[in-house]
Amino acid sequence: MKPKNLIWHIFKKDCGLLWPFILGAAGLQFITMALRYALDHVAWQNVQVLLNLYNLLLIATIAAPTLLIATAVHQDAVPGVRQDWLVRPVKRRDLLLAKLLFLLLMVQGPILLADMMQAMANGFPLIPSLGAAASRNLYLLLGLSLPVFAFASLTRNMAETVIGAVAGLLGFGVLQILINNRGQVGPLRGTGLFWIAESSMFAIALLGSIVVLAMQYFRRKTMLARGAMAGVAFLFLLAYMVPWNFAFALEQRLSPSPGAGSSIVMTFNPSMIRFRLPDGMSRSAVAATLPGRATRDEASTVYLPLQIAGLPADGALNTDNSELVLRDADNTVIYRGPADDLVVRKDGPAEPAHFTVGIRRSAFFRDIGPEDTPVPESNGGQALVYQGVALPRSLYDRIKNRPLRLEINYSLTLLRATSYNIPALNADLRIPNVGHCRSRMDDEADDIVVNCIQAGAASTDCNSAFLEHAPSGRRNPARFYCWPNYSPYFGQYLPDAMTRNRASFPFRDLSGLAKYPVDASQLPDARVVLRVYEAQDHFTRQLVIPRIQLSDWESLEHTQVAENR
């Protein structure tokens, strides 16, 4: 037989031996896909039961391919001295390629097919469906299947694999805890740049898998390969720590419209009044201590008044990272750490700017910040906002009345909005980059619910949306969500190759206390306005305040509490 026929020959042998397992694993993908489709499109009475079942199946859709890969590899295990293939004229390259072929056709293949069918069943054409499915498939291949293949090649049987995996995960977890305890949570975590860390991890996983597989199949150096695998796991973890400056420089090079943010200027405006916490929030209420970078204490947080010029009328400014440097009178650095994240948006020339401040990683929209607060604009149309600066309490108490030099090094992204209108009642339409959207009134008849589903990635990581009565122009309060992801590719382990977004827009208060500008009577002429912000430019700015006394910029609420003590 010719070599490629022998690859096929070994592949067929594995298929013959494992066909019940192959069918089971593939069946799981299709059953899960069908259940998801039913959950998306059918109104079920007892939906929670189905959701629980679906969540169980989701775990199985990852576990089954993992076990199938390991089982296929173990049919001709590499470690050990008793395997029959070792004494046969089997080219090791052929064996490796046969296992790879199995992985692609019998493991990845059904996932690809199920994902593609899911997208097509949701009404997406073949090419976008295939594109979304292939993108997720590649993601799974690099992030799961190949590392599992390499790992399984280091073991003789499933028991060894499971024990090795448990030991490896424990070691991996301990390393991660050690790193986290040093306050070194990955700099890119929780930001739109995390895809760079993820890509680095995948690159390491790919290279590591190739190295381990080559060592195993061409040299049969199991102990050495196990050491290499441990090294790869360590490097994988290190990739989590990609330095911010490097990652942002790379992201800047990928800016879709370089220079679009060049007109944006951020300046300190001491003429503004001090910041006031929103009603109902006190410093004790907003104090939070979270691990690593997310440590925040409202009692030692100051809010610097800033004015932002040059923000386009349909733009949003997102701080991807802000590094605070405080210097003493003699220019020595007395503190270097993160400042609060800040998001400023402007939906149109006639609309006020809004801002959100807090720590993104602790879900700042709810826990700390004033969320999407409207702010006045100066005569020149500049947004007047506040930058939160949270310091360790002991340090703050020591330095709050000293004259300091303050610098904030911003890594910023300018996003521009595209608006889409969705009729409030019973709409069913396709929106480019958002997906297939449907609107309806909910069962309580107090919300308009919009569900959008897209094959692959949807551009809705940063958006504002509100209910509008088109003839009168009346609007209900907007909902704003901005947690951008700048990834140029689509990938997710679970649940499938689709992106789903759901939003509710209230128009009636069931308690009768609130009244909305757009109410039930106006719904036939109402629409949901969806503004999707997409990144245009990534750039840096530096804010320098040569002389500042931090206590001057405590929130009004803070001072009031302190005076009452």
Partner 1 sequence: MIQVNKLWKKFGRTEAVRDLSFAVPEGSAFALIGANGAGKTTTIKVLMNILEPTLGSAEVLGVDSRRISPRELAQIGYVSENQDMPEKLTVGQFLAYLRPFYSGWDVELEKSILGQLRLPMERKIANLSHGMRMKLSLACALPFRPRLLVLDEPFSGLDPLVRDEFMEGLLQQAGEMTILISSHELGEIDGVATHVAFLDEGKLLFQESMSDLVGRFREVHVTLERDQDHIGNGNGKATIFPKCWLRVRTMGNVLTFVDSQFSESEVGEQLRSLIGNVKAIDAQPMPLRSIFTTLARAAREGAMQ
**Cβ atoms within 10 Å, residue 275:** 23
The answer to the question of residue 560 lying near partner 1 (CB under 8 A) is: no
Task: Compute the least distance from the CB of residue 107 to partner 1, in Å.
Answer: 19
Q: How far is the CB of 2 from partner 1 (least distance, A)?
A: 10
In whole angstroms, what is the distance from residue 181 CA to residue 246 CA? 24
The yes or no reply on residue 96 touching partner 1 (CB under 8 A) is no
The amino acid occupying position 315 is G
The answer for residues whose C-beta is within 8 angstroms of residue 541's C-beta and 6 or more apart is 264, 265, 266, 410, 412
Provide, rounded to whole angstroms, the least separation between the CB of residue 12 and partner 1: 9
In angstroms, what is the minimal distance from the CB of 18 to partner 1?
9
CB-based contact 62:494 (threshold 8 Å):
yes
For partner 1, how many residues bind (rule: CB under 8 A)?
19
Position 325 contacts partner 1 (CB under 8 A): no
How far apart CA 548 and CA 326 sit, in angstroms, is 10
* Residue 298 per-residue DSSP state: G
Whole-Å CA distances, 312 to 49, 213, 264, 317, 383: 47, 52, 9, 9, 11
- Structural contact between residues 214 and 270, judged by C-beta atoms closer than 8 angstroms: no
Q: Which one, 216 or 464, has the nearer CB to partner 1?
A: 216
- Least spacing, CB of residue 67 vs partner 1, in Å: 16
Q: Smallest distance, Å, CB 9 to partner 1?
A: 5
Helix (H, G, I), strand (E, B) or coil at 171: helix
- DSSP code at position 518: S
Q: 11-70: which residues touch partner 1 (CB under 8 A)?
A: 13, 16-17
**Residue (of 348, 358, 418, 367) closest to 385 by Cα position:** 358
Residues 234-263 that bind partner 1 (CB under 8 A): none
Rounded Cα–Cα distance for residues 182 and 188 (Å): 16
CB of 17 to partner 1, least distance (A): 5
Residue number, 155 or 499, with CB nearest to partner 1: 155
The yes or no reply on residue 9 touching partner 1 (CB under 8 A) is yes
Q: Which is nearer to partner 1, 89 or 512 (CB)?
A: 89
327 touches partner 1 (CB under 8 A):
no
For residues 434 and 532, the answer to whether their CB atoms sit within 8 Å is yes
Contact yes or no for 200/242 (Cβ under 8 A): yes
Residue whose structure tokens are 């879900």: 363
Q: Which is nearer to partner 1, 3 or 171 (CB)?
A: 3
Cβ proximity to partner 1: between 4 and 398 the closer is 4
Bridge partners of residue 440, in order along the sequence: 449
**Residue 214 binds partner 1 (CB under 8 A):** no
Contact set for partner 1, span 71-90 (CB under 8 A): 75, 80-84, 86-90
Q: Is 91 in the site for partner 1 (CB under 8 A)?
A: yes
Site string for partner 1, 508-527 (x = CB under 8 A): --------------------
Q: Closest separation between CB of residue 13 and partner 1, Å?
A: 5
Residues in the site for partner 1, rule: CB under 8 A? 1, 5-6, 9, 13, 16-17, 75, 80-84, 86-91
